[in-house]
Amino acid sequence: MLFNSRLFILYFLPLVYTGFVILTRWKRNREAVAWLGIASIVFYSWWNISTLPILLVSIAGNFLFGTLLSRFPSKALFIFAIGVNLAALAYYKYTTFFIEALNDTAGLDLYVPSIVLPLAISFFTFQQIAYLSDAYDGRAVEHRFTDYLLFISFFPHLIAGPITHHREMLPQFSRLTSGKGEPGRLAVGMTLFLAGLTKKVIIADPVGTYVAPVFNFSQEGGIPSFSDAWAGTLSYAMQIYFDFSGYTDMAIGLGLLFGISLPPNFDSPFKSRNIIEFWSRWHMTLTRFLTAYIYNPLTLHFTRMRIKSGRSVPRKGKTTPGAFVVLTSIPTMFTMFVSGLWHGAGWQFIIFGVLHGFYLTVNHGWHLLKTRRESWPGTGSRLMAVFSVALTFLCVLTGLIFFRAESVSSAWRILLGMAGHSPFYPVSALKLPDITATQCIFLAVLAIIIWSFPNTGQIMRNYRTALDLTPRVSWMMRIFPSVTWHPTLIWGVATGIVASFTLMRALSAAPSEFLYFRF
């Protein structure tokens, strides 16, 4: 079931919300939690009911593992529980890829099974691994099974995030109330949902029509022209930006309708001045998970090994090249390798992760050099800030080519086209449509929106949206304070006009998947 589908907007959401309001007004907190849990299971199974047992077994098994680890913290049990989760993820997501890679590299002819990938298995597996880790360390408090079920399966975040943490979600389930603040909560939640729906239907889907022809062309063996390669790549950057931003707004807005705040997951990442900042603003909860459960443990492990070997741990700003490689570069590269593999089973995703690992390593090294010198020419100037944003975006754009392409060779042909190495007679039999003025104007308008306008979190900064979110104040908000959202007549009319147009578009066409659904 898709957030932008007629079924969800006209039937599922009104029914679930009505039942929730009735139960909470009767102060039936446990029943309200159970109602949302059942609704979430129905939401998930609507996609493919054959994969529902996998989700339910995963939830029940990890709840049992977590309970046992909280009471009897056993390292053997912890390793076994993590191994079961990773084995399930590896089987469903990577078996086909590994067998095909083995056939290609070793010249074998092994049977490639047809495995149905359970929806959102990467998201709910990572979420539960974090829970098991905290249970083993004594940082997870035991809860009722219905609470845990809702924590994992809550439909606003189940399919594409945010990846939530038990400490921020489970306590909220005991405080589900209605009455106080109900109209305001409904207004903020629906405004966010409609804003996300507009990004998806009015921006992401239309700009996405420019993407497929170019990448299909390269997949067929053709090298697109300089202009086609850049137009297709920039269009994909805009598509995934507004698609993921739209999903995040819709998820957070839906959570608020039920009195639940989800963590922020998207914060204008294309405005970042470096790759470290980019990953703190793009898929923020994934970065949080990778940092807390992979990068930090690896760094701690290497630090302990260094101490045992008799070498000192360098102080901040005094890191030696050897220490930098061991304590920063290796953990960073491995963490981003995992990130790439998490996003998809394919060599192109591995290259995407390794490429960003290299970016981050260079970024950390640059910061280290800056700490050893008092000042650098041009540091802090507006021109340097613009250059930093442009360079960061160019690096991200290069990574996105591998993220979107169906294969490494296809991505390489896109890069050759962007570099101006397109032959006069492409190999592919496909013919690319001509780039139109409409496409150029559309991309230019989207660029202005991305780099000049405040995001939805900033616009609604005076009201509770994402959990613990403190939005930056943009230059536009300083000059035009009225840009900040308030439940006023003017904002209501403007929202109603945009929402009407968006809903007509959404309900009159077949809904398209969100891009992160395939991860």
Catalytic residues: 343
Q: Is 265 helix (H, G, I), strand (E, B) or coil?
A: coil
Q: Which helix (H) or strand (E) holds 258?
A: none
Q: How would you label 44-78 residue by residue, b for 16+ Cβ within 10 Å and e otherwise?
A: bbbbeeebbebbeebbeebbebbbbbbeeeeeeeb
Beta bridge partners of 266: 282
Sign of CA dihedral 47, 51, 54, 57: positive
Write the CA distances from 146 to 16, 34, 405, integer angstroms: 17, 6, 41
Helix pair angle (166-173, 145-153), 10° resolution: 120
Q: What is the dihedral of CA 288, 290, 291, 296, to 10 degrees?
A: 150
Token digits for 258?
């039920």
485: buried, middle or exposed (CB in 10 Å: 19+, 13-18, 0-12)? Answer: buried
Helices then strands (H, E): number in the chain?
A: 25, 0
> How many whole angstroms separate alpha carbon 179 and alpha carbon 20?
12
Using the CB atoms, write b or e for 125-148: b if 16+ within 10 Å.
bbbbbbbbbbbbeeebeebeebbb
Give the residue among 232, 282, 200, 242 at the shortest CA–CA distance from 446: 242
